[in-house]
Amino acid sequence: MNRSFDFYEFAGVLVPGAVLLIGLFWIFPHTELPLAGLDFSASDLAIFVFLAYATGHLVQGVGNWIEVFWWEMSSGSPSRKILQGKTLDEFTYSRLLEALRTDGFLDVNSSTVPSSIATTITREVYATVSANGRSNRVDIFNGNYGLLRGLTAALTIIFFLTLFVAKDPAAISISAVLVVLSCQRMNRFSRHYATELFVQYVNLQTRTLGEIAQAPQISAPVGDDGLRN
């Protein structure tokens, strides 16, 4: 079976899984781990990729918990903050609300987005942007966010292993610094993703309205009696 990985699978699943496996080799160099005897021929590399992919999904499970904790500590995700008008400038936010009302994602009388439906609206907005072929940059930011979330999870696991198992001060310090850096980058790319998503959506809506306004107006034919037929 031929199987190719897309960018998100490679960045968000394979890489974090590989990092954790390599970290385990580093922490337990004398332990008979499943890959200890591999010489990384083509078949061995295939086995490593398979294990990294499976491990990466488990790592992202830890990443999901870290994500929930991180956004709780940060008073909400970047997407939710944008929808609540906390990060965009007033002009752009008013255009966003108007676009949401026009597409029926938001009640016409609403002046803000309820936090209870922010996640649903974000998914609907992404579906709209993607269907119009404008999600390329959004997907890149999302892939990098997934990568950093996975790395944060993998490095957090490695940190606790070095703290309670290896007990090597240098390894503890290095892994701690890497966790902090990955968290910082995860937060940064999450903001890039959310901002790019909603800016693309607002621009798409503005362009659509502009095309409608420039379309030729066709009037109904007028009869001999001066009335429209």
Phi-psi region of 220 (alpha: psi -120 to 50; beta: other; left: phi over 0): beta
Does residue 129 form part of some domain?
Answer: yes
| Number of separate domains in the chain | 1
Residue 181 within a domain: yes
Residue 168 belongs to some domain of the structure: yes
Domain of 166, in residue numbers:
7-211
Q: Phi and psi for 224 in degrees, rounded to 5?
A: -65, -25
Q: What would the two tokens of residue 15 be?
A: 């890489």
Q: Residues 6 or more apart from 25 whose CB is under 8 A from it?
A: 33, 35, 36
Q: Is residue 20 in some structural domain?
A: yes
For residue 223, being part of any structural domain is answered with no
Residue 155 placed within a domain: yes
Structure tokens at 144: 């990098």
pLDDT value of position 109:
73
H/E element, 187: helix 169-214
Tell me the pLDDT of the chain (229 aa) as tens digits. Answer: 455 667 777 889 999 999 999 998 888 876 655 555 556 667 778 888 899 999 999 999 999 999 999 999 988 899 999 998 889 999 999 999 999 999 998 887 777 777 778 889 999 999 999 999 999 999 999 999 999 999 999 999 999 999 999 888 999 999 999 999 999 999 999 999 999 999 999 999 877 655 444 444 444 444 444 434 3
**Residue that is written with structure tokens 């703290």 in the block:** 163
Task: Provide the pLDDT for residue 33.
Answer: 56
CA neighbours closer than 13 Å in the CB half-sphere of residue 50:
8
Is 125 inside any structural domain?
Answer: yes
* Alpha carbon distances (Å) from 131 to 135, 171, 172, 213: 8, 46, 46, 22
Does 2 reside within a domain? no
